[in-house]
Structure 1
Amino acid sequence: MTGTLVVIGHGMVGHRLVTDLRVKDRADAWRIVVLAEESRPAYDRTALSSYMAGKSAHDLTLVDHDFLRDPLVDLRLGTVAASVDRGSQTVTTTDGTDLGYDALVLATGSRPFVPPVPGHDAPGCFVYRTIDDLDAIRAAAVSGRPGVVIGGGLLGLEAANALRLLGMRPHVVEMASRLMPLQVDDGGGRVLAKLVGELGLRLHCGAAIRSVDTGTDGRVCGVTLADGSVLDTELVVFSAGIRPRDELAGPAGLGRAQRGGFLVDDQCRTSDERIWAVGECAAVNGRCYGLAAPGYRMAEIVVQQLLGFGGAALPLPDVSTKLKLLGVDVASFGDAHAMTAGVLEISYVDNTDSTYAKLVLSPDARVLLGGVLAGDASAYPVLRPLVGHELTAPPEQLLFGGAN
């Protein structure tokens, strides 16, 4: 007998769950209904910068013809889930359609956080999240004019690079004292700031936004910072973090984590045995993860349960990252911020080449616990697998070569 699985959300993680299930469900035990809020199927959201650099929406798509022709997959584009009734096991969409389910997966993702400052919703304000967002930014951009990005994290720097590719002169406003505060430390932040500053980005770290200012026509004309300084601009991009899309939780009687997200256990199951959550909207034992890799692992774990293969527990996700932003290499891994008690930190700075490296070692200096690389991340493939293990060579050899 075939059961009905409803998946709410068709982002990268929701799509991975559906494709993984179809590959492993050799008995065709599940018919899958996918509710996609956007007007296009799943695409690689981590590659949005390449879309601004010239790639097409088709280049970014994750969906092939076989998926679209699969008789056991009913993909409904532009369809929004309005509510979940756990008693009747139905999902109601905003157009009034009721869909019964035997199992439900919430893959609703997240939304950009927009600080509720005056003028935040004025014409000329954008977020950096979807292909449609980028199309709107491209249409509004004026080459040679300044643009302001609110947020100096990973997505903020991607947004600033997008404005740069459009010929604009980007300002980046970051509340923390350094760029990418979640990934790098102060030393890495200084090198990163120097390198991206040389590319034309004007940085305002340790700065908060007071208001988005508008002219007589109601459109954006500037941004006022907390210290009273004003940045002239007609275009503002908010990229100051994300918040899990968990608005279905309350009406459905599902638990939320303290900081948002559908509360799930280490098998990604909610308090309802028929409902799971995966990806950025899932708070695994109270914690959300905003990276694709943990979301993919959540999808695999749920597929195993749907097919009766047992309930593997989600291991502690690896949040190591290696990036090339605006042509600058950045990487962090393990205990990058040296939060473990008693650790040793070894830092290397080359001001001539604008590179920075920090290794975090156990108190006896034998075990690698984490690190940060900025300007040159070529040692990342060697160092990341060593996290939690004894060093195979002196730290300087691991960083700069000479170790096998």
Structure 2
Amino acid sequence: MTGKTRTLVVAGHGMAGHRLVEELRTLDTAGSWRVVVLAEEPHAAYDRVALSSYLDGRSAADLSLPAPGLTSDPRVSLRLATAAASIDRAARTVTTTAGDTIGYDALVLATGSKPFVPPVPGRDLPGCFTYRTLADLDAIREAAAPGRPGVVVGGGLLGLEAANALRLLGMEPHVVELAPRLMPVQVDAAGGGVLGRRVAQRGLHAHCGVATASVQAGPDGRAAGVSLADGTVLEASVVVFSAGVRPRDELAAPADLDRGERGGFLVDALCRTQDSRIWAIGECAAVSGRCHGLAAPGYRMAESVARQLLGLGGEAFGEPDMSTRLKLLGVEVASFGDAHAGTAGSLELSRLDETRGTYAKVVLGADCRTLLGGILVGDARAYADLLPYVGRPAPSAAHRLLAPAS
């Protein structure tokens, strides 16, 4: 470690990029790095996981992540509404969308992801939106018509968040999901059935197992309806696409950086690209070829890279924690470990309580003792008791979970 102050450029100021900056500020007591952060949005990093709360009374300031001292820290230059436009690896510079060029000693790509919009006719009509940023929610709020129907294309985690947003704005939400159930990544068929019935009681209309064929225009040229592949036509004054995300890796090809098979900057277990001065973290990073869309894996990557930059030895990225616990339209859902019993020889034990509207499943190993994962719908209180035991003998909480209700 030399006494010279070096320059780190962080391309992106989402949740992972911000965690990197904060880790570096905390650990770099010698002030060995000057950090230039390029934030594409006009806002500093904010809690994207809690995005729906922006329509439920919380402000942009409430969701903001930076501590007050960030903007006054002489070691950090935060440039809002400015993104990285190109990378010159030979010159070790980044050109920004503002037209200036910044030299770097190290570069961390934290460009995140962008919404996937299915290529259906009419997707570009006025009244069609994505659900990803504060600006998206501002636009949806302005277009919302209380009492009128709105359609969300995509019934995964983000899709249900978007449907709840429409509900908060007084609209009647419909969700269209290609899979045969809602939240197909997190829950199984039985759990999806319970979830579907519970959210229907809260005013959500789910249309599962059917594709979106087109968005129809009304007489004013705005979106007025959504046609489904089975011939159904749903009236809609607002259409929100929330059908997944794709990594933001458009800087890769011009800079001759490798990409993963399904996109993302290809990095090793230490989040390093093939260029020894460039790392990638968060949703844009294809770690050993695989991208991860949750906040927790991005935080782990950020913490590891911060330690590497300071010569402290970063932890290799192993199997990520993809567990989730959330409340969607008032319904608790949790999924953890090998929730879908993909491990050879695994055993699934479940309990469905139609009266209470709850579903619980635990997955055990071939030894019938080791807890591999589970799914909870309607009541997720056991999640905290079970999660620490994944890979270990199942605790008594698992047996109580499956016992008949008294």
Distance 1:399 1:56 in 2: 41
Question: Which residue pairs with 1:95 in the alignment?
Answer: 98
Question: Which residue pairs with 1:76 in the alignment?
Answer: 79
Distance 1:226 1:392 in 2: 46
Whether the 8 Å CA contact 2:41–2:81 is kept in 1: the answer is yes
Measure how far apart 1:51 and its partner are: 0.9
Question: Which residue pairs with 2:252 in the alignment?
Answer: 249
Distance 1:242 1:395 in 2: 34
User: How many residues were matched structurally?
Assistant: 402
Per-residue deviation, residues 209-247 of structure 1 (Å, max 9, x unmatched): 010111233211111001111001121000000000000
Distance 1:269 1:399 in 2: 44
Question: Which residue pairs with 1:128 in the alignment?
Answer: 131
Asked whether 1:142 is paired with 2:152, we answer no
Name the SS for the 2:392 alignment partner.
coil
Name the SS for the 2:361 alignment partner.
strand
Question: Which residue pairs with 2:116 in the alignment?
Answer: 113
Question: Which residue pairs with 1:316 in the alignment?
Answer: 319
Asked whether 1:162 is paired with 2:130, we answer no
- 1:156-305 pair list within 5 angstroms: 156-305=159-308
Distance 1:247 1:253 in 2: 11
Name the SS for the 1:17 alignment partner.
helix
Measure how far apart 1:398 and its partner are: 4.9
Distance 1:301 1:94 in 2: 28
Name the SS for the 2:359 alignment partner.
strand
Name the SS for the 1:67 alignment partner.
coil
Whether the 8 Å CA contact 1:379–1:400 is kept in 2: the answer is no
Residues 31 and 376 of structure 1: CA distance in aligned 2, closer, same or farther (over 3 Å): same
- 1:348-367 pair list within 5 angstroms: 348-367=351-370
Distance 1:394 1:57 in 2: 39
Per-residue deviation, residues 339-383 of structure 1 (Å, max 9, x unmatched): 111111111010100100111111221111111000011111111
Distance 1:117 1:215 in 2: 17
Distance 2:397 2:25 in 1: 47
Tell me which of 390, 394, 401 is aligned to 1:387.
390
Whether the 8 Å CA contact 1:382–1:398 is kept in 2: the answer is no
Question: Which residue pairs with 1:31 in the alignment?
Answer: 34
Larger mean Cα displacement after TM superposition, 163-172 or 302-311: 302-311
Measure how far apart 1:315 and its partner are: 2.1
Per-residue deviation, residues 324-349 of structure 1 (Å, max 9, x unmatched): 11111100111000111111111101
Tell me which of 48, 52, 60 is aligned to 1:49.
52
Tell me which of 312, 327, 331 is aligned to 1:328.
331
Larger mean Cα displacement after TM superposition, 392-401 or 328-337: 392-401
Per-residue deviation, residues 233-263 of structure 1 (Å, max 9, x unmatched): 1210000000000000000000000101000
Q: CA RMSD in A?
A: 1.3
Question: Which residue pairs with 1:8 in the alignment?
Answer: 11
Measure how far apart 1:3 and its partner are: 0.3
Whether the 8 Å CA contact 1:222–1:233 is kept in 2: the answer is yes
Residues 297 and 394 of structure 1: CA distance in aligned 2, closer, same or farther (over 3 Å): closer
| TM-score, normalization by structure 2 | 0.97
Distance 2:313 2:362 in 1: 39
Whether the 8 Å CA contact 2:350–2:402 is kept in 1: the answer is no
Corresponding letter in the other structure for 1:55: R
Measure how far apart 1:394 and its partner are: 7.5
Identity of aligned residues (%): 66
Whether the 8 Å CA contact 2:351–2:402 is kept in 1: the answer is no
Measure how far apart 1:400 and its partner are: 6.2
Where in structure 1 are there 5+ consecutive unaligned residues? none
Per-residue deviation, residues 299-344 of structure 1 (Å, max 9, x unmatched): 0110111000124211211101111111111001110001111111
Distance 1:74 1:400 in 2: 57
Corresponding letter in the other structure for 1:32: V
Distance 1:361 1:238 in 2: 37
Name the SS for the 1:276 alignment partner.
strand
Corresponding letter in the other structure for 1:17: L
Distance 2:203 2:314 in 1: 50
Larger mean Cα displacement after TM superposition, 179-188 or 388-397: 388-397
